[in-house]
Chains A and B, each alone.
Chain A
Amino acid sequence: MDHSLLSVKNLSVIIQGEKILEDISFEIKKGENLMIIGPNGAGKSVLIKSVLGFIPKNGEVIWQTGVKISYIPQGFLPGREMPITALEFLNLKKSDEKTKEENLTKVGLSKKILTKKIADLSGGEFQRLMIVWSLIGNPDILIFDEPTSGIDVKGEEDVYSLISLLNKERRLASILVTHDLSVVQSFAHNVLCINKQSVCFGAPEIALTPKTIHDLYGENIALYNHNHDRK
């Protein structure tokens, strides 16, 4: 049995006297895809940042020793103020040419985009570039805070399928924060539902019941299995 890459127990975060997160527990192993869902202001990004050690927390966060983490923050969309090309951007991180090219092919980007300014890339191209970025250095786990904000449904599907493929092929673990319940059912091994507190954790088909959805969003949101081909 695999040991956990990350194990979190009874994590709480208090910011300026306000309880943002309370008593969150979950774990993730090699090759697993964990998705975190919850309404706006549920503390999803705070959870990620506290687990990464960017903000102070209470409780237990245990990373496997020597684990390599790649993290892409929420809403990271470089503005037009910096005329940086895709290649120059990737070069901000140390990597050899070969891995870079392999990863570009892997995510389905042509080498042509390397000379384009990142501000000129489409939403989908940019997200793929960010996956290339996050694969540099051969991480054990990818942490993406809303990887598909700002891209269309087709692009969104592609990004999730790609990460799913990486889960299988490279035994790469991933933690993805998302709004989209349908992708959780299609791609997640485990789902963590939070609304300041933990509402559910486990395999989506077991954890995501009409009751947990109601507890999470406070209203009746229809839960149905998307057939993604129909879109």
Chain B
Amino acid sequence: MIENNIIIFVATLSVGAISGYLGSLLVTKRMALVGDALGHVALPGIAVAILYGFSVIEGAFLSLALGILIIWILEQETKLPSEALIGILFTVSLASALLVIPEGELEEALIGDLSSITQKEALLVILLSVLVFIIVKIIFKKITLLTLSEDLARAEGIKVNFYKLLYLISIGLTIALGIKFAGSLLVGALLIIPAASSRIVSNSMSGYVYGAMICGVLSVALGILFSNIFSFPAGPITVIISALFFLLAMAKKKIYG
């Protein structure tokens, strides 16, 4: 049992780490709300998984992959900015899930449930987190340049659309991995808050990225600790803790500049 808990603990920490890692590229330009909204896009998949009895993580990823593909294609076909498209997609996802998911399971889908994670799922989460980390590490420089300027990236011969898709899929995978822990409403916070906190106090890209990862891991670890002590649900308390890190970062910036 203890061994089981350790695996689940490690799995959630690795989700915290890759969320911070990917989030550091998301908290730029107009992308910040993408992570948040994509959590909701996972809901129809979660609904299908609950109804037909397969893993919520797989269901979430399938629906995210589909959602991301739709966004990616529509972005190239229409002149609408991607936030508008994501806005449409995520409200429709939320609405359809609210209609379909049975009331007893709705809370778990929306805010997550640590105790529902099985050992097999935890191992899958660890494995896929490592995979996402490696993929993003390989393309990190290209995505960074892309985030700075698409034209500049294109001039360097970077296939902008391809790398955008690859990056979005990595985000989708990260969200799917975090969905059982934080639920679809809160999983986006794991991407955004640690990165935003780290950005405030960072003077270099590497400091920023590692800071976001460390903040993500600490938030999750403390979140699980407090959820055990005070029997809070783990997802919400983790979000509150990461928000406290954000306040700390702001205070540090204010005092030390």
Q: Which residues of A contact B (CB under 8 A)?
A: 49, 52, 54, 69-73, 76, 78-79, 81-85, 88-89, 91-93, 115, 117
Query: B27, B147, B205: which contacts A85 (Cβ < 8 A)?
Result: B205
Range of interface residues on chain B? 20 to 34
* Known contacts A81-B28, A83-B204, A84-B144; is-contact A73 B151 (Cβ 8 Å): yes
Query: B29, B141, B156, B207: which contacts A81 (Cβ < 8 A)?
Result: B29
Are A84 and B205 closer than 8 Å at their CB atoms?
Answer: yes
Shortest Cβ distance from A211 into chain B, in angstroms? 35
Are A84 and B155 closer than 8 Å at their CB atoms?
Answer: no
A54 / chain B contacts, CB cutoff of 8 Å: 151, 154
Are B204 and A93 closer than 8 Å at their CB atoms?
Answer: no
Are A82 and B152 closer than 8 Å at their CB atoms?
Answer: no
* Known contacts A76-B149, A92-B144, A92-B145; is-contact A82 B205 (Cβ 8 Å): yes
B149 / chain A contacts, CB cutoff of 8 Å: 73, 76, 78
Complex Cα gap A71–B154 (Å): 9
Are A81 and B204 closer than 8 Å at their CB atoms?
Answer: no
Query: A71, A76, A85, A89: which contacts B203 (Cβ < 8 A)?
Result: A85
Q: Give me the 3 closest cross-chain CB pairs, A-B, nearest first.
A: A73-B151, A71-B155, A84-B205
B29 / chain A contacts, CB cutoff of 8 Å: 79, 81
Q: Which residues of B contact A (CB under 8 A)?
A: 27-29, 141, 144-145, 147-149, 151-152, 154-156, 199, 202-208
Complex Cα gap A92–B147 (Å): 12
A81 / chain B contacts, CB cutoff of 8 Å: 27-29, 199
B145 / chain A contacts, CB cutoff of 8 Å: 92
B202 / chain A contacts, CB cutoff of 8 Å: 83
Are B28 and A82 closer than 8 Å at their CB atoms?
Answer: yes
Are A69 and B204 closer than 8 Å at their CB atoms?
Answer: no
19 interchain pairs, CB-CB under 8 A? A54-B151, A69-B155, A72-B152, A73-B151, A73-B155, A76-B148, A76-B151, A78-B148, A78-B149, A81-B27, A81-B199, A82-B144, A82-B208, A83-B204, A85-B203, A88-B206, A92-B144, A93-B156, A117-B204
Are A73 and B152 closer than 8 Å at their CB atoms?
Answer: yes
* Known contacts A70-B155, A73-B149, A93-B156; is-contact A85 B204 (Cβ 8 Å): yes
Complex Cα gap A103–B120 (Å): 54
Are A88 and B205 closer than 8 Å at their CB atoms?
Answer: yes
Shortest Cβ distance from B33 into chain A, in angstroms? 14
Shortest Cβ distance from B108 into chain A, in angstroms? 35
Are A84 and B199 closer than 8 Å at their CB atoms?
Answer: no
A85 / chain B contacts, CB cutoff of 8 Å: 203-205
Residue of A nearest to B146 (CB): A92
B203 / chain A contacts, CB cutoff of 8 Å: 83, 85, 117
Are B141 and A92 closer than 8 Å at their CB atoms?
Answer: yes
Complex Cα gap A54–B206 (Å): 31
Complex Cα gap A52–B155 (Å): 8
Residue of A nearest to B142 (CB): A92
B199 / chain A contacts, CB cutoff of 8 Å: 81, 83
Residue of B nearest to A84 (CB): B205
Shortest Cβ distance from B41 into chain A, in angstroms? 24
Shortest Cβ distance from B73 into chain A, in angstroms? 19
Shortest Cβ distance from A184 into chain B, in angstroms? 24
A88 / chain B contacts, CB cutoff of 8 Å: 204-206
Complex Cα gap A88–B147 (Å): 14
Complex Cα gap A72–B202 (Å): 27
B205 / chain A contacts, CB cutoff of 8 Å: 82-85, 88
Residue of A nearest to B156 (CB): A93
A89 / chain B contacts, CB cutoff of 8 Å: 148
B152 / chain A contacts, CB cutoff of 8 Å: 71-73, 76
Residue of B nearest to A74 (CB): B151
Query: B27, B148, B151: which contacts A84 (Cβ < 8 A)?
Result: B148
Are A83 and B207 closer than 8 Å at their CB atoms?
Answer: yes
Query: A71, A84, A92: which contacts B204 (Cβ < 8 A)?
Result: A84
